[in-house]
């Protein structure tokens, strides 16, 4: 007959080997629990570091800032062109009516953006700049801070940025040479052709700059870098410069205001030089974009030389 006394306390009737096995099992279980707790704490700490490093990683990245300067100048120029381009061109007597100036400027911008971005994307694919070639080297690194430090010193990353900077620089030099001719053209047909071609090359640099924004940082914070670049480009680009350009135009040509009926005062014809200066200021932002790409190329080239010299020489 089985009694409680015989089986009431399992520990009491286990032999030494069984007790040792039971103790080892409990110790192993506790050890696993402790390790899991430590890993959980490390993950929580890693998340905190990730959040705190987001802004610091983007703002202190020189390549990122150079690309943001180019994107800011682009947003500034396009917005000012759409807002002030038509009234300035009509006041300069390039177009016969305010309506024709507005329609032509809008259609040129739409056509250029469609053709230009597709052409720029084709050029990027031609160089086979696949970001996955970089990302696969960092899939095993879980710590965000460590990943960012290694990524910033990766020669392949800076090689990609060097190619992007050089390619967009050549494109923007062509765009700048065409766009800077705009204030000095008086023929409507020549103006439309040069403006459309110049804006097409200007938009061709956009895919390269956007890919560069993503290449600048590791994969896990690219969404934030894209959002930050968009925020900065609007904050310092089209938002303030639309007001600043309007102030410049109002100062240099105060009587050149288009009425609802598309009429201008006679004094506006005498202030055409102020309109041309305003238009030249708008078009000069293409040079800022070109300089941003050029300095990106130089900076990346410098970083490649620096980090290659630190790599061990293979026998």
**Rounded average pLDDT over 269-293:** 92
**Rounded average pLDDT over 100-115:** 93
Could you give the CA distance from residue 76 to residue 286 in angstroms, rounded to a whole number?
Answer: 10
**Rounded average pLDDT over 174-195:** 93
Confidence of residue 50 (pLDDT cuts 50, 70, 90): low
Could you give the CA distance from residue 141 to residue 8 in angstroms, rounded to a whole number?
Answer: 52
Q: What is the pLDDT of residue 240?
A: 92
Choose among 27, 58, 72, 83: nearest CA to 245. 83
**Rounded average pLDDT over 98-104:** 91
Q: What is the pLDDT of residue 173?
A: 96
247, HSE (Cβ side, Cα atoms, 13 Å)? 5
pLDDT digits (tens, 9 = 90+) for 228-268: 999 999 999 889 999 999 999 989 988 888 776 667 777 78
Residue 188: pLDDT over 70: yes
111, HSE (Cβ side, Cα atoms, 13 Å)? 12
Average model confidence (pLDDT) across the chain: 83
Residue 8: pLDDT over 60: no
In the numeric block, the tokens 């100048």 are attached to 73
In the numeric block, the tokens 């992007």 are attached to 164
**65-308 has which CATH code?**
1.20.1250.20
Q: Which residues contact 218 (CB under 8 A, 6 or more apart)?
A: 135, 138, 144, 147, 148, 151
Confidence of residue 278 (pLDDT cuts 50, 70, 90): very high
b vs e for 97-114, b when ≥16 Cβ sit within 10 Å of the residue's Cβ? ebebbbebbeebbeebbe
Could you give the CA distance from residue 195 to residue 180 in angstroms, rounded to a whole number?
Answer: 9
Residue 202: pLDDT over 60: yes
Give the domain ranges of the chain: 65-308
**Rounded average pLDDT over 19-39:** 52
Dihedral (CA of 31, 37, 39, 41) sign? negative
Q: What is the pLDDT of residue 28?
A: 54
Q: What is the pLDDT of residue 258?
A: 75
Residue 83: pLDDT over 60: yes
Alpha helices in the chain (DSSP H): 4-7, 10-13, 16-59, 62-91, 98-126, 132-135, 144-152, 155-179, 188-204, 206-215, 222-233, 239-252, 272-283, 285-310
Residue 97: pLDDT over 70: yes
Confidence of residue 136 (pLDDT cuts 50, 70, 90): confident
Q: Which of 29-33, 272-276, 310-314 has the highest mean pLDDT?
A: 272-276
Residue 45: pLDDT over 70: no
Which has more pLDDT, 44 or 109?
Answer: 109
**Rounded average pLDDT over 88-104:** 90
Q: By CB neighbour count within 10 A (0-12 exposed, 13-18 middle, 19+ buried), where does 170 fall?
A: middle
């Amino acid at each position: 007959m089985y009694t409680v006394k015989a089986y009431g306390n399992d520990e009491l009737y286990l032999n030494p080997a069984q007790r040792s096995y039971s103790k080892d099992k409990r110790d192993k279980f506790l050890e696993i629990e402790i390790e899991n707790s430590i890993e959980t704490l490390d993950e929580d700490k890693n998340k905190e570091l990730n959040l705190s490093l987001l802004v610091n990683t983007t703002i202190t990245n020189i390549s990122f800032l150079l690309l943001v300067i180019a994107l800011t100048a682009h947003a500034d120029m396009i917005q000012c062109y759409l807002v002030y381009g038509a009234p300035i061109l009509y006041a300069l007597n390039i177009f016969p009516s305010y309506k024709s100036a507005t329609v032509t400027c809008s259609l040129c911008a739409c056509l250029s953006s469609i053709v230009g971005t597709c052409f720029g994307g084709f050029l990027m694919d031609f160089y086979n700049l696949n970001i996955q070639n970089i990302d696969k080297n960092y899939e095993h690194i879980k710590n965000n801070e460590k990943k960012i430090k290694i990524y910033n010193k990766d020669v392949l990353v800076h090689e990609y940025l060097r190619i992007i900077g050089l390619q967009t620089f050549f494109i923007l030099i062509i765009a700048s040479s065409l766009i800077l001719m705009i204030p000095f053209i008086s023929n409507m047909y020549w103006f439309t052709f040069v403006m459309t071609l110049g804006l097409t090359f200007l938009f061709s640099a956009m895919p390269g700059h956007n890919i560069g924004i993503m290449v600048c940082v590791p994969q896990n914070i690219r969404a934030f870098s894209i959002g930050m670049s968009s925020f900065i480009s609007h904050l310092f680009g089209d938002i303030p410069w639309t007001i600043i350009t309007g102030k410049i135009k109002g100062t240099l040509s105060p009587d050149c205001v288009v009425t609802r009926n598309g009429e201008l005062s006679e004094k506006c014809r005498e202030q055409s030089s102020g309109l041309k200066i305003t238009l030249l200021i708008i078009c000069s932002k293409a040079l800022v974009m070109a300089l941003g790409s050029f300095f990106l190329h130089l900076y990346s080239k410098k970083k490649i030389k620096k980090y290659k010299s630190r790599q061990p020489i293979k026998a």
